Amino acid sequence: MPAIKFRGVDFIQYDSLLTDEERLVRDTTRQFIEDNLIPIIEECNRAGRFPRELVKPMADLGFFGASLKGYGCAGMGNVEYGLMTQELERGDSGVRSFVSVQSGLVMYPIYEFGSDEQKQTWLPAMQKGEKLGCFGLTEPDFGSNPGGMRTRAKKVGKEYVLNGEKMWITSGSIADVAIIWAKVENEDDMIRGFLVETNRPGFKADDIHGKWSLRASVTSGLSLQDVHIPESNLLTKTGGLKSPLMCLNQARYGIAWGALGAAMSCYDTALQYSLLRKQWRDQPIASHQLVQDKLAWMISEITKAQLLVLQVGRLKDAGKVEHQHISMAKRNNVWMALECARMSRDILGANGVADDYPIMRHMMNLESVKTYEGTHDVHSLIIGQSVTGIDAF
């Protein structure tokens, strides 16, 4: 079977809804992924290796903090940013996760909640990929309900002292700085964000091994034992759970687009394969009605998902997006992508379980994507709360 090369997915002249700049960002990212990630991703996935060699080239293309303005950042519109994450995840969810964390979960909170000094110290270096970041919210006992967190910060003189455990932290052991969310003892346990340099005494990051998902992304547990940081490391504008949730909204928006990329990769692989693979009377399997039904389902759902994220992106550009809009896009598109991965895997038969094709890797990655940044069901509750006014958590 000849190698299958991604051709893009556009059933309803979707491209005509995009500006020239938006198409340029998508096409540039697509080419970068084709040239740099596709040739190595299966090896990275097998080895459980994050392709760190791509950090600098990604920085050079403006992928980090891409939607922020100033500090060397690209200042992309939200649809451009979304199309970039779509193409990154068409390559691999792990690489897209790295970019989402660096941009939406570390640079964004510094940009939004940080002092001028914090911004000058971190943002240009992070944009260039010289410094990497991670976001520590989840704990061993608190995932969907982060408000229960046990990590504590105590003000002592001109310092804060941090103690606690964080779990499932993307890029934890490769980060230079961690955004740590903690309850401040002297402030009625209010949740606040802190910049913690990872070389401080008492800070430890240990990688989680044995993941069947996001194998090309580093995931770690963090331990903070009497970690002293100067008071100037507090992100002063943070206050309450709303602050980390604002960061998650940024990252969830990128995920909604990213999942679409994984779905497109699976669908296009299955479509091309079904036209090449012959069974029964020397006919391609694409000639069977049941195979066509799967392809029709996938192209319909991908097209609907494209329109959903595009509208959410346009609302975000207009400053009119609400968190429940982003929840709908994340929930729908990740579910849709997982269904596409399962159907595409089926169309490839036995070949579907091998890493000569990207489908099984996408399927396993998407299981994490379904869980992180608010699980599928948590987003159901957010949408339910929005339409009924009733909190069902």
Ligand X SMILES: Cc1cc2nc3c(=O)[nH]c(=O)nc-3n(C[C@H](O)[C@H](O)[C@H](O)COP(=O)(O)OP(=O)(O)OC[C@H]3O[C@@H](n4cnc5c(N)ncnc54)[C@H](O)[C@@H]3O)c2cc1C
218/366 Cα distance (integer angstroms): 16
Applying CB under 6 A, among 50, 160, 168, 253 the residue interacting with ligand X is: 168
Cα separation values, 125 from 64, 121, 129, 133, Å: 10, 7, 6, 11
Nearest to 135 by CA among 47, 257, 29, 238: 238
How many C-beta atoms surround the C-beta of residue 102 within 10 A? 28
Can you tell me which of 15, 187, 322, 377 binds ligand X, judged by CB under 6 A? 377
Contact status: 138 vs ligand X (CB under 6 A):
yes
Report the C-alpha gap between 167 and 205 in whole angstroms.
10
Among 66, 101, 263, 336, binds ligand X (CB under 6 A): 101
Question: Which residue of the chain is nearest ligand X when measured via CB?
Answer: 143
Is 371 among the residues that bind ligand X (CB under 6 A)?
yes
- What is the C-alpha to C-alpha distance for residues 62 and 36, in angstroms, rounded to an integer? 16
Q: Does 393 bind ligand X (CB under 6 A)?
A: yes
For residue 372, which phi and psi values (nearest 5 degrees)? Answer: -85, 165
Q: Which of 85, 93, 170, 238 binds ligand X (CB under 6 A)?
A: 170
Amino acid letter at 33? I
Q: Is 199 helix (H, G, I), strand (E, B) or coil?
A: coil
From the number of C-beta atoms within 10 Å of its C-beta (0-12, 13-18, 19+), residue 288 rates as: middle
User: Residues 115, 375, 385, 386: which binds ligand X (CB under 6 A)?
Assistant: 375
CB distance 383 to 324 below 8 Å: yes
How far is residue 62 CA from its own chain's centroid? 17
Q: Is 373 a known active-site residue?
A: yes
User: φ and ψ at 83, to 5 degrees?
Assistant: -65, -35
Segment interacting with ligand X, rule: CB under 6 A, options 3-11, 26-34, 132-140, 302-310: 132-140
CA–CA dist 315, 310 (Å, integer): 9
CB of 119 to ligand X, least distance (A): 21
Helix (H, G, I), strand (E, B) or coil at 115: coil
Span near ligand X by CB under 6 A; candidates 4-12, 164-172, 261-269, 281-289: 164-172
Residue 194 sits in the site that holds ligand X (CB under 6 A): no
**Which positions from 18 to 57 touch ligand X by CB under 6 A, shown as an x/- string?**
----------------------------------------
- Residues 204-223 touching ligand X, rule: CB under 6 A, are 214, 219
CB of 191 to ligand X, least distance (A): 13
Please tell me whether residue 143 binds ligand X under the rule CB under 6 A. yes
The reply on whether position 372 binds ligand X by CB under 6 A is yes
Tell whether residue 93 is a contact of ligand X (CB under 6 A): no
- Number of residues this chain uses to bind ligand X (CB under 6 A): 20
Residue span binding ligand X (CB under 6 A) among the ranges 76-84, 259-267, 288-296, 372-380? 372-380
Decide the pairing of beta strands 283-284 and 278-279: antiparallel
Question: Which residues contact ligand X by CB under 6 A?
Answer: 101, 135-138, 143-144, 168-170, 214, 219, 368, 371-373, 375, 377-378, 393
State the catalytic residues. Answer: 373
